[in-house]
Structure 1
Amino acid sequence: MKVILAGWAKTGTATMCSAFNILGYKTYHWLDHCEQLGDEWTKILTQGGTSEDFQKVLTDVDVVSVSPAAICWWEIHQAFPDCKIILTTRDEDSWYESCQLYLKNFDKDVFNKFLYTLSPTGWKYTAFLRSSVMITFGHYVVWPWSNVAGRSEMLMRRNFRQHNHHVLQKAPKDKLLVYLVKEGWGPLCKFFGVEVPDQPFPHKNKRAEAINQHNEHRFITRMKREMYFTILFLTVFTCLLFSFIMN
């Protein structure tokens, strides 16, 4: 482990993961955590974890980002004390607006609701998401058929502020970078002592584009294959049952 991206979701975390990929780091974002370490994270979030647990889970990863890693940033840093910590942040009002836009678009996607319901991998994903939402926002989500958006604005804003304050107070100053993604390569490369790459700084997840990027992930592709197989199985079974009844 080399870097903990401790910033809250919707503060440029997908952009940062793309930037670290360009710099040659192995990064885990939201779906990567679930795909590769879903069972381990669910256990940590529901039962707790020790430094040894985090070392075992994350030893082969260079950069971790977004929930649940960002929520557990301090515990991860205890397990990997040489890690650098980056707190990505943004104006609170624009952060909340971005969160709500993403969640509302997510809730409107009926295809994904069927996807998570008719796929065994989708069941694993919903368990992971429920645990992450609980530790992030403090409430339980009966998902995927209940909406994620519309939760308490007061609690979301308070948790955002408390998280940022916790990082600023606890992170070792010599290992912490407070960063806005609009600052580009300069502060980031200076912090790590590396040359600025010969390509533009990435910019991911503009507005509702996050949904498209989410749906293109290989983890979601696996769910789609499973869903289509389930639909085919149910169709054949229904036809055979209907034929049996008619005869």
Structure 2
Amino acid sequence: MKIICAGLQKTGTKSIAEALRILGYNVHDVFEQFHHEKELWNKILDNTVTVQDYQRILENVDAMTDFPAIAVWEQIYEAFPDAKIILMVRSSEDEWVRSVFKQREVANEYVVKNDFLRQLQFQFVTGPLSLQFYNIETAFTNASIGVSRMYGQTLPESFLRSRYRQHNSYVKSICPKEKLLIYNVKDGWKPLCTFLNKEIPDRSFPVVNVQAEMTRQVVKERWKYDCGFRSVMLKQTYIRVGSFLAVSFVFLAYFIYCIFL
């Protein structure tokens, strides 16, 4: 582990991930983490994780950003004390809150807003992969920004603001200054490359996930870093729905047969 991106969700996590990939780093963002490091997240939730688990499971990863990792960035740093820390921030707290609410607005176009109905959907319709993601998302998003998920019916703004302030202040207070870059992705290549001792690429700094566009791309299976999540989830959903319809047809046919026998 060379770089820990300690900025909360909606602080340019997708842009910094793409920038680090351009610089040659092996970056694990949300879906790479879910796909490759699921053992680690389960151990954390079971309270069985050790420093050696972090070191073993993450040994071939150069950089991590967004959740689940952001919720345990400090533990990752303890396991890899030579890593550099990038604290991504927005231009203002208000801008960050607006971005979170925009994420909620876009995500709500595709999910069931009622918590109970959504839980039923994940339990009985969409299959085990989406349920696993939902459970990890609930735990680690709550740990990082103080709400269970960035969609659904309500997002208490006071919780979000408090968590944003607390998180940024804490990172600044404990990280050695020589290892910490406080960074706004709007600042582009220069501060990032200077901090990482890298040459500035001969291309524009990537601007990714503007207006929560990644959510739409994931739904349409156009997000190239989803590790096949969407296609597997759809396959499992089709199997479950198809099985339910087949069983229902058999019972209906049997019922009709019994009536007219």
| TM more than 0.5 | yes
- The structural deviation recorded for 1:58 is 1.1
Structure 1 match to 2:8:
8
Say whether residues 1:220 and 2:230 are aligned partners.
Answer: yes
Identity %: 32
Structure 1 match to 2:185:
181
Q: RMSD of the alignment, in Å?
A: 2.2
Structure 1 match to 2:94:
93
Structure 2 match to 1:130:
138
Where does the alignment leave 5 or more consecutive residues of structure 1 unmatched? none
Q: Decide whether the 8 Å contact of 2:147 with 2:159 is kept in 1.
A: no
* Cα distance, 1:53–1:148 mapped onto 2, change above 3 Å: farther
Counterpart-to-counterpart distance in 2, 1:45 and 1:10: 24
- The structural deviation recorded for 1:11 is 0.5
Counterpart-to-counterpart distance in 1, 2:85 and 2:148: 29
Structure 1 match to 2:197:
193
Alignment of 1:28-39 (within 5 A): 28-39=28-39
Of 6-15 and 229-238, deviating more is 229-238
AA paired with 2:67? S
Q: Decide whether the 8 Å contact of 1:42 with 1:127 is kept in 2.
A: no
Structure 1 match to 2:78:
78
- The structural deviation recorded for 1:139 is 5.3
Q: Decide whether the 8 Å contact of 2:122 with 2:131 is kept in 1.
A: no
Q: Decide whether the 8 Å contact of 2:27 with 2:61 is kept in 1.
A: yes
* Cα distance, 1:125–1:95 mapped onto 2, change above 3 Å: same
* Cα distance, 1:204–1:174 mapped onto 2, change above 3 Å: same
* Cα distance, 1:96–1:139 mapped onto 2, change above 3 Å: closer
Structure 2 match to 1:159:
163
Counterpart-to-counterpart distance in 1, 2:189 and 2:146: 35
Counterpart-to-counterpart distance in 1, 2:86 and 2:39: 26
Select the structure of larger CA radius of gyration: 2
- The structural deviation recorded for 1:189 is 1.1
Q: How many pairs align?
A: 243
Counterpart-to-counterpart distance in 2, 1:2 and 1:92: 28
Q: TM-score, normalised by structure 1?
A: 0.90
* Cα distance, 1:187–1:140 mapped onto 2, change above 3 Å: closer
- The structural deviation recorded for 1:138 is 4.2
Say whether residues 1:62 and 2:62 are aligned partners.
Answer: yes
- The structural deviation recorded for 1:231 is 1.6
